[in-house]
Amino acid sequence: MSKYPNLLKPLTLGGVELKNRVFMAPMTRGRGPGQIANEEVAKYYAQRASAGLIITEGVHPSKQGVGWLNVPAIFTDEQEEAWKPVVEAVHAKGGRIFMQLWHQGRQAHSDFHDLQPVSASDVEIENSDGLYTSKGKVPYEKPRPLTLDEIKETIEDYRKAAERAAAAGFDGVEIHAANGYLPDQFLQSKTNKRTDQYGGSIENRYRFLDEITEAVLTVLPKEKVGVRLSPNGTFGDMGSPEYRELYLYVATELGKKKLAYVHVMDGLGFGFHELGEPMTLKEFREVLPKETVLIGNVGYTAETAEKAIANGDADAIAFGRPFIPNPDLVERFANDWPLAEPAAPPTWFALDPEKPLSANYTDYPAYQQ
């Protein structure tokens, strides 16, 4: 008998039975030179196919949304084609995989596309030492607000990306509305200073995410769509005083859509804004319908994940960093095998062009008894 019976119990998500509740959290790994997925990307995800659900790294739905080196994207035919073998490799091993759609908004940079970054408003990122581009580490740029026409175009980019993800065979998509990326920049008062129908009240600030979700729902059934939120986070220079009221409203509205899941970064180990008591999974569970799976994340261990599921706070837990050096994380939990040493942050991304893509990516072995 495993020590973690609840965590390893199957779960129905979107009408499909998942093998367990150990989900792989979305993690940018920067192993897609030319913004194209490749064999190494397929191998990486296939190695981790025993996860109940894999959520891919953030994948850009448009050129404008790019702000990270070597991320395989999904806004051209070639990019769409390149994801197909990745999905096939995961499915061949019995895994399930959602694509995370990621527009970086003000966290994008002109180095990637010669375009000024866009956001809800022209609020610049402070408290940051910058980002990596082809020219090394550079400061973030001042964003400009999206016009009403551009908001429509951006929503269409998400719809098209979801359509491409479906065509590439993905089991669903996750809309990234966490960590201070574009949808979160609209949600939070810290970054949204608009005076039109997309700014001001919480209802107005939620409108952009609502319209993205509705657009995605025109190409995918609700059982194949999830949304990620980070109510407690500071990542991307975020944190707004109305966070509790805001995210409870957002969760309530998303709940009405009966989506596959809502993915909440409830843990504090990825930065906590300290603007009040952290929001808990319990608060989200209370406003979400039963059929919407609630995923918790950040800093979980097998023990704390087991507890969160056993007491009904979460239906599944997403693990990020533990999946980097433990491709067989599920088997290690099931057999109570030790975990590999955590991977050092400089190895998370492939910043050294001299090294093969496989380095610190697909070269972590499964546990050897």
Ligand X SMILES: Cc1cc2nc3c(=O)[nH]c(=O)nc-3n(C[C@H](O)[C@H](O)[C@H](O)COP(=O)(O)O)c2cc1C
Contact residues toward ligand X (CB under 6 A) are 25-28, 57-58, 100, 102, 176, 178-179, 228, 265, 269-270, 297-300, 319-322, 348
- What tokens were used for 13? 């998500």
Closer to ligand X at the Cβ: 145 or 313?
Answer: 313
Whether residue 102 contacts residue 59, with contact meaning beta carbons closer than 8 Å, is answered with yes
Closer to ligand X at the Cβ: 172 or 320?
Answer: 320
d(CA 369, CA 360): 22
d(CA 200, CA 25): 32
Which of 45, 181, 247, 249 is the catalytic position?
181
Q: Least CB distance from residue 28 to ligand X, whole Å?
A: 4
Q: Least CB distance from residue 20 to ligand X, whole Å?
A: 16
Neighbouring CB atoms inside 10 A of 153's CB total 12
The one-letter code for the residue type at 332 is R
Q: Least CB distance from residue 179 to ligand X, whole Å?
A: 6
By beta carbon distance, the residue nearest ligand X is 320
Helices 148-167 and 77-92 meet at what angle, rounded to 10? Answer: 40
Closer to ligand X at the Cβ: 67 or 143?
Answer: 67
Closer to ligand X at the Cβ: 21 or 228?
Answer: 228
The three state secondary structure string of 169-226 is CCCEEEEECCCCCHHHHHHCCCCCCCCCCCCCCHHHHHHHHHHHHHHHCCCCCHHHEE
Closer to ligand X at the Cβ: 179 or 213?
Answer: 179
Closer to ligand X at the Cβ: 96 or 103?
Answer: 103
Q: Please report, for residues 45, 105, 152, 164, 331, the alpha-carbon distance to residue 172 in angstroms, rounded to integers and kept in the order given.
A: 15, 23, 22, 11, 25
Compute the C-alpha angle 334/299/128, nearest 5°: 145
Whether residue 250 contacts residue 206, with contact meaning beta carbons closer than 8 Å, is answered with yes
Which residues does 304 contact at the CB level (< 8 Å), separation at least 6? none
Neighbouring CB atoms inside 10 A of 341's CB total 8
d(CA 350, CA 137): 14
243 is catalytic: no
d(CA 356, CA 40): 10
Closer to ligand X at the Cβ: 27 or 238?
Answer: 27
DSSP bridge partners of 295 = 263, 316
d(CA 286, CA 248): 9
Active site residues: 181
